[in-house]
Amino acid sequence: MPESRRPQEFGELLSLWAEIDDLENVTSILNWDEQTKMPRGGAEARADHKATVQRILHQKLSSPKIGRLLESLVSYQASIPYDTDEAGMLRAAKRAYDRATKVPENLVLEMSRTGSKGFATWLRAREAKDFSVFSGDLERIVDVMGKVASALGYEDTPVDALLDQREPGMKVADLERLFGSLRERLVPLAKRIFERIDAVDDSVIRQAFDIPGQWKAGLMAVRAIGFNLDQYGRADTSVHPFSTTFSPHDVRITTRFMESFLPTSLFAFLHEAGHGQYMQGIPVKFRRTPISRQCSAGFSESQSRMWENLVGRSRHFSKYLLPRLREVFPGQLASANVETWYRAVNRVRPSLIRVEADEVTYNLHIMLRFELEKDVFAGRVKVKDLAGAWNSKFKEYLGIEPPNDLLGVLQDIHWSRQFGACFQGYTLGNVISAQLFEAALLAHPSIPEQFEVGNCSALLEWTRQNVHAHGSKYTPQELIVKATGRPLSTEPYLSYIERKYKDIYGL
C-alpha cells in the first residue's frame, strides 16, 4: 500500500500505537533489569514503576479514541487485500484493543503488583527450597488470573481465556487432542528407551567445566547459529534463562550455569538465541506498529526449540560444535568424538528439570504443568497443596519424585508472575519446529550438511522469509499454512523423534 492511499485515521492509529509499543518495550526493559541487574532492595520500587507503566499502557490501549479509529477504518480494511501490512496491522490492533477493553484497569494493576511481589517471593522460596514460602503469593496470583479470565470470558475453563491471549483462536480442547496424539506415541517410546537406559553414556558432559569457559563456549555457539551479539544483542546471566526484545536491534538473551554439567548453559544459550533470532528478524519497518511482535508463544518456542534441538542437538551440527568446544575445554573433551558427544547430549532419562529434559520426555513435563493449571482452576487442587500434587503427578508421569521444591514446583519462573496457559507454548513450539524444519529441508536439502561447517544461514534465511518477516501479521493457524503449506500436524515432530531416538537407542 503506498502511504499516500492510507486514510488519515490510519496514520492517527499508528501514531497512537507507536506510544503503546514504546510502553510495551519499556515494560520489557524494566523486567530485563529486574531479572538480571537489579539489587534485591529495588523490588518494591520496581513494582511501582511497572504498575504505573502498565496502568498508562492499559489506558492508552483501551482508550475510546482507538475504538473510534478502528471503527472508522472498517471499510478501509475491507477494501484492501488481506495480505497487506495495513490489513494485518488493523487485525492485530483490533485483537489487542478488544482484549484490553475487557480487562478493567484495577485488574491490570493488581496483576502487575502480584506478579512483581510474587517474583521476589519466589526467589526467596527458591533459596529456602520451600514452596510454602511462596504459596500465599501464588494464591493471590491464581485469584487475579481467575478474575482476568472471567473478564475476558470463557465457556469451559478459565484456561481457555488465558490460552487465547497466547495462541489466538486455540482452545484447551484442541490442546488436549494434540497432547493426546503426542502421548500415544511418546509414552511407549519413552518406556522402551527406559528399558535400555544405560545404552547411552553421558559422562563426557558431566565433568567440571569452569564458568568463564562455559561463557566462551556459549557465545561461540550463539554466534555460529547467527544471533547478532555485537551490534544488536547482548547476553547475561539470570536465575531463569530468558530472552527479550526492545527493538529488532536490541535483543537480549540470558543463560545460567552449572559447573558440573555443560549442557545447562550451552543449550540455554542456543534456546534463547533461537528466540533472539526471531526477535532480530522482525522487519524494522514494523517497529512501533501493531505487528511488531512474534506471531504467538508457540511460534516463538518453535524458533528456540528448533535451534536448541533440531540444530544444536543434531549429529551434523555436533561435527562443527565439538572441535570448537574442545578448544575451550581441551582436557575434558580430549577423548570425546562426535558420536559420544551426540549420544550424550541426547540421552533420554526421567529428569526433574524441564529446561534440561530430553526431547522424548520434555512434553510430559509440559502436560503435567498444563493439567495442574486446569486442576487448580477447577478447584481439584488447592494452591497450598500444589507442591504435593506436583510431586505425585511427577512420580506418575516420570517415575521419580523431586527431593525438594526447588527441583520441583519452584523450578520455573512462569508461575512466579502468572498462572494459567503458561507452558503449552513449548510443546506447540516442538511440534511447529519440526513442521517448519521439514519445509525448510524441502526447499534447501543441503541444510544439514551446511551445519557441519557451521553454516546456518540457509535455515536462518528460510525462517527469516517464511516466519520472521511476517511479525504478528497472521494468526498462528494462518502462519503455519503460509510457511509450510498445510495446517499444524504432530506428524513431522513424532517421526523426527522416533527416527532420531530409535537410531540412538537401537530400537
Active site residues: 272
Q: Please report where in the chains the cell 518494591 appears, as a residue.
A: 44
Binds a second copy by CB under 8 A, chosen from 3, 155, 198, 230:
230
Non-local CB neighbours of 336 within 8 Å, separated by 6+ positions:
204, 322, 326, 344
Total number of residues binding a second copy (CB under 8 A)? 37
Binds a second copy by CB under 8 A, chosen from 218, 226, 233, 274:
233
For the bound state, the minimum distance from the C-beta of residue 66 to a second copy, rounded and expressed in Å, comes to 16
Beta carbon nearer to a second copy, 29 or 353: 29
Binds a second copy by CB under 8 A, chosen from 76, 215, 232, 261:
232
Phi-psi sector, 104: left (phi>0), alpha (psi -120 to 50), beta: beta
For the bound state, the minimum distance from the C-beta of residue 337 to a second copy, rounded and expressed in Å, comes to 37
For the bound state, the minimum distance from the C-beta of residue 17 to a second copy, rounded and expressed in Å, comes to 11
The answer to whether 18 contacts a second copy (rule: CB under 8 A) is yes
Beta carbon nearer to a second copy, 464 or 500: 464
Which one-letter amino acid corresponds to residue 204? V
Binds a second copy by CB under 8 A, chosen from 207, 247, 477, 489:
247
Tell me the C-alpha distance between 449 and 73, whole Å: 49
Beta carbon nearer to a second copy, 126 or 343: 126
Which one-letter amino acid corresponds to residue 248? P
Contact string 166-185 vs a second copy (x = CB under 8 A): --------------------
Q: Which of residues 288-307 bind a second copy (CB under 8 A)?
A: 288
For the bound state, the minimum distance from the C-beta of residue 52 to a second copy, rounded and expressed in Å, comes to 4
For the bound state, the minimum distance from the C-beta of residue 215 to a second copy, rounded and expressed in Å, comes to 15
Coil vs helix vs strand at 282: coil
For the bound state, the minimum distance from the C-beta of residue 197 to a second copy, rounded and expressed in Å, comes to 44
- 361's grid cell: 520426555
Beta carbon nearer to a second copy, 248 or 408: 248
Binds a second copy by CB under 8 A, chosen from 9, 12, 19, 452:
19
- CA dihedral sign, ordered 337, 342, 348, 351: positive
Beta carbon nearer to a second copy, 19 or 176: 19
* CB atoms near residue 47 (< 10 Å): 21
Beta carbon nearer to a second copy, 55 or 99: 55
- Residue 265 near residue 308, CB atoms below 8 Å: no
Tell me the C-alpha distance between 308 and 461, whole Å: 17
Tell me the C-alpha distance between 412 and 101, whole Å: 30
- Residue 266 near residue 218, CB atoms below 8 Å: yes
Contact string 47-86 vs a second copy (x = CB under 8 A): -xx-xxx-xx------------------------------
Beta carbon nearer to a second copy, 39 or 506: 39
Q: Please report where in the chains the cell 544488536 appears, as a residue.
A: 232
How far apart, in Å, are the Cα atoms of 162 and each of 49, 117, 300, 420?
A: 25, 21, 17, 6
Tell me the C-alpha distance between 384 and 382, whole Å: 5
Non-local CB neighbours of 380 within 8 Å, separated by 6+ positions:
none
For the bound state, the minimum distance from the C-beta of residue 238 to a second copy, rounded and expressed in Å, comes to 13
Binds a second copy by CB under 8 A, chosen from 12, 22, 130, 356:
22
Coil vs helix vs strand at 2: coil
For the bound state, the minimum distance from the C-beta of residue 55 to a second copy, rounded and expressed in Å, comes to 8
Tell me the C-alpha distance between 472 and 87, whole Å: 12
Q: Which of residues 29-48 bind a second copy (CB under 8 A)?
A: 29-30, 33, 37-42, 44-46, 48
Binds a second copy by CB under 8 A, chosen from 13, 23, 125, 186:
23
Binds a second copy by CB under 8 A, chosen from 234, 316, 324, 349:
234
Stretch that binds a second copy, among 108-116, 241-249, 365-373, 434-442 (CB under 8 A): 241-249
How close are the terminal C-alpha atoms of the chain, in Å? 55
For the bound state, the minimum distance from the C-beta of residue 19 to a second copy, rounded and expressed in Å, comes to 5
Beta carbon nearer to a second copy, 242 or 426: 242
Non-local CB neighbours of 358 within 8 Å, separated by 6+ positions:
346, 347, 348, 349, 351
Beta carbon nearer to a second copy, 56 or 128: 56
Stretch that binds a second copy, among 117-125, 154-162, 212-220, 228-236 (CB under 8 A): 228-236
Please spell the DSSP secondary structure of 17-66, one letter per residue: HHHHHHHHHHHHHHHHHHHHT--GGGHHHHHHHHHHHHHHHHHHHT-HHH
**For the chain, what is the largest distance between any 2 Cα atoms, rounded to a whole number of angstroms?**
69
- Residue 131 near residue 391, CB atoms below 8 Å: no
Residues that bind a second copy (CB under 8 A): 18-19, 22-23, 25-26, 29-30, 33, 37-42, 44-46, 48-49, 51-53, 55-56, 228, 230-234, 246-247, 249-250, 287-288
